[in-house]
Amino acid sequence: MQIAVLGAGAWGTALAISFAHRHSVSLWARDPEKAARMQAAGENSRYLPGHRFPASLRATADFSAACKDAELMLIAAPLAGLRAALQHLRAAEVETPFLWVCKGLEKGTGLLPHQVVREVLGERMCGVLTGPSFADELARDLPTVVTIASTDANFALRCAEALRGPRLRIYASDDVIGAEVGGAVKNVMAIATGVCDGLGLGMNARAALMTRGLHEIARFGKALGGHADTFMGLSGMGDLFLTCTGDLSRNRRVGLLLATGKPLDQITRELGQVAEGVPAAHEVQRRAAALGVKMPITDWVCTLLDGSVTPIEGVAALMERDIGFEGR
């Protein structure tokens, strides 16, 4: 298959490397100098150093060349760049089926990625690739299992079969909402868990946050129309566990640094990459409020990001909430 990966960050590059073991892949970067450096070096030395490109992977800044003859495209831009990427496809009159890999709710609109896609392009053959996965581990060809969700279940299954590899297993799903909600809200929960660990509150507290965090994800997702079982799968519980505990998690690192008292603007500068939980937190909070869904951990994270409470004050407020029945 001829595949075009649009976006040469760490995750886009890792996917391109993985797919290039079986397919011919074009990795598109907006910056011509960056694309030329990657092609000459045979690796993405900025975002994924040390991972060599297979012979069937080429980097390019020529959008038309990247998309030419492509049978499938992957939009690997962060959520903040999704709308612009879709508008680029519309302007170029590209009709190729595609997947997106960003996670979150669009800042300002609160839309999930599939809603942005529909708003810009209308009905298309498309879907989301999501699940517990760090770019570095995928590029190292370590076993990774993810999900492709689409409203067209047959399309999801065909993509899963085409893109799988010896160390990359892919499941298919028809629950786009559930898959996207899991991917979006787990980043918020990873910030909370990072704060917990940064404060040295112990593994009991971490387990409680993750468990109640999963409950918030499921409650919010079901209110939006997601399926209950999706939140117990790879895009829900699996992604939550990885992002809350993995040292490669940018959102967890945000929480760890918040626990030290660093201001958010300094933290984001030090990270140098997008931590999707930061913009997602307030969008999740707003949509949850509109739906009448209680999300106390999300509310706590928002107060931390705003700087309106200290981490310790926020923990105390969570612990002092009224007692109720666990499943409600």
| Residue 324 in this model has a pLDDT that exceeds 90 | no
Candidates 186, 222, 262, 294; catalytic one: 186
Q: Give, rounded to a whole angstrom, the gap between the first and last alpha carbons of the chain.
A: 47
Integer angstrom CA distances of residue 205 from 194, 199, 212, 242? 11, 11, 11, 17
Per residue in 29-71, pLDDT tens? 999 999 999 999 999 999 999 999 999 999 999 999 999 899 9
Q: What is the pLDDT of residue 208?
A: 95
- Burial class for 117, CB neighbours closer than 10 Å (0-12, 13-18, 19+): buried
Above 80 in pLDDT, residue 327? no
Domain boundary among 141, 174, 207: 174
Of 174, 194, 225, the one marking the end of a domain is 174
Give yes or no: residues 133 and 205 share one domain. Answer: no
Give the CATH number of the domain where residue 126 resides: 3.40.50.720
Q: Do 249 and 302 fall into the same domain?
A: yes
> 200 with 309, same domain?
yes
**CB-neighbour burial class of residue 238 (10 A; exposed 0-12, middle 13-18, buried 19+):** buried
- Known binding-site residue numbers for sn-glycerol 3-phosphate: 103, 131, 133, 186, 239, 249-251
Q: Tell me what pLDDT residue 323 has.
A: 87
CB within 8 A of 19, min separation 6: which ones? 3, 5, 25, 163, 165
Where in the sequence is the domain holding 18, given as residue range(s)?
Answer: 2-174
pLDDT of residue 280: 95
| Positions at the binding site for substrate | 103, 250-251
Domains held by the chain: number: 2
262 is catalytic: no
Q: Does the pLDDT at position 322 exceed 90?
A: no
pTM, to two decimals: 0.95
Binding residues: 7-12, 30, 47, 103, 131, 133, 135, 186, 239, 249-251, 274, 276
Task: Identify whether 179 is part of a domain.
Answer: no
| Residue 130, phi then psi, degrees to nearest 5 | -155, 170
Same domain, 230 and 192: yes
Domain boundary, last residue among 115, 149, 174? 174
